[in-house]
Amino acid sequence: MDPMDPVDPVDPVDPVEPEPRGSASDASDRGGDVANELSVTNTTRDDGSAGSAGPIVFGTTGLGGFAAHACEVLGELSDVADPAVRLHAVCEPDHVRHAEAIADLRRRGVRVLQDFDDLLAEPVEAVWLPLPIHLHRPFTERALAAGKAVLCEKPAAGCIQDVDAMIAAQRRSGLPVAVGYQHLPDPATLSLKRRLLAGDIGTVRRVTVTACWPRGDAYYGRNDWAGRLKHEGAWVLDSPANNALAHQLNLVMFLLGPEVLRAATPTAVEAELYRACPIESFNTITARVTSGAGPMACFFLTHACRQRIGPIIAIEGSRGRVEGDDQRWRLRIRGRDVETIERVTDGRRSALLLGAALHGIRDEHSTMCTLEIARAQSLIVSAANECAAIHDVPRSFFDELRTSEDCIRAISGIESIFEQCADRSELLHESGLAPWSRPASKLDVTEYRHFAGPAKAIGRSA
């Protein structure tokens, strides 16, 4: 069963919602394939010293939710012959709840600690941080200050100024920080990016992204920050655009970037935000993002739906079109047969993500998602929240889909409405298909550096 399916039980300490992944054993069972994906080589550093030829020694945080998956990946890949990585220590405050997992780790020689500072005092070269969004910045800064490279879960942080602070900390330290966006290390992503830069479909004119992923009360009740704008004094801005579907914003801005390993820089964000469930944040967004004279990108994302659809990505060019789903890219170039580029799926995503991070740690050419690449997604989310007020969808326009374990509120016909909006590159209100919609609000983000707060809180209104 799809681990993202909302009817599945949700671990209440799940930090951020990952894309569907195979289990850690899926990764380790492939033996040679994963060894190739994770291989690192001897290197010479900028100061002339030799890089370590042994495995990169990792620490990680947490044993609940996705943190458990991260620990399993590191642990099982530590057990293969000639490993590229070795799990040395885990930080987990709750030793009672996770007593069984802790006992197993200790039998395998892994140190288990309760305090993050104790983890940072261990002889680890890097830390994996599968943490709640509001902890990404402080834990990354602490790890860098302690001389550790970082693999941070997506999104990079809750707001744009937090990402910029992390970038400043990374540059001061000179250590790499990778963000857990899994699509960038995928060879299919890089192949498509090079095709776009080469002009295979001509000048890119527009991109649309459509994703309807049902999420209900179980999802928003899984922890104390889901669906929140702020938690423990830090911006979270939890929403489809900043959690489950953040991958798609990051991927599109990367594909539109001017160089192979650069993302496009947004210059204006136009957004409509809607809420069809009792949360603080929004669960439906339509947004238009422009990047200077480059193509516009339109996003249609919701958790208030009946059916799981997408993500579906369409890239329109002057000489062709790219259509993408979670499995493959299809290139339809004028005068040629349709070409297909298969995307990486299942457990290989985690292996490729970790492999890219390892290469970055060892000063090798890496396809990891850097903070600079991830910044575009955070900028879009911050700007959308600041310029557009959240509007409640009237009760008469959504249904409550109840089970014994969940209640999903689905906006009537949203799947079809989004499909038509994407075909026309029109936001909801522009389309005239949603009588409950409101006009979009727009923000110039050319010099945008600071999220001042949600629209209503700072006096903006749609």
> What is the reported pLDDT for 18?
52
Backbone angles phi, psi at 78, to 5 degrees: -75, -25
pLDDT over 90 (residue 282) = yes
pLDDT over 80 (residue 124) = yes
Instruction: Identify the weakest region by mean pLDDT among 50-59, 143-152, 186-195.
Output: 50-59
Give me the mean pLDDT over the 85-99 stretch. Answer: 95
Domains, the chain, ranges and CATH? 24-179 (3.40.50.720), 187-343+371-457 (3.30.360.10)
pLDDT over 80 (residue 57) = yes
Residue range 125-184, pLDDT digits in tens: 999 999 999 999 999 999 999 999 999 999 999 999 999 999 999 999 999 999 999 999
> What is the reported pLDDT for 172?
98
Q: What percent of the chain has pLDDT over 70?
A: 87
> What is the reported pLDDT for 14?
46
pLDDT over 70 (residue 17) = no
pLDDT over 50 (residue 40) = no
pLDDT over 80 (residue 224) = yes
> What is the reported pLDDT for 7?
32
Residue range 333-363, pLDDT digits in tens: 999 999 999 999 876 888 899 999 999 998 8
> What is the reported pLDDT for 348?
83
pLDDT over 60 (residue 38) = no
Give me the mean pLDDT over the 84-98 stretch. Answer: 95
> What is the reported pLDDT for 264?
98
Distance between CA atoms of residues 242 and 439, nearest Å: 22
> What is the reported pLDDT for 381?
99
> What is the reported pLDDT for 459?
57
> What is the reported pLDDT for 101?
94
Instruction: Identify the weakest region by mean pLDDT among 183-187, 273-277, 292-296.
Output: 292-296
> What is the reported pLDDT for 13?
39
pLDDT over 70 (residue 218) = yes
pLDDT over 50 (residue 453) = yes
Q: Higher pLDDT residue, 366 or 451?
A: 451
> What is the reported pLDDT for 363?
80
**Residue 11 pLDDT grade (very low, low, confident, very high; cuts 50, 70, 90):** very low
> What is the reported pLDDT for 39?
53
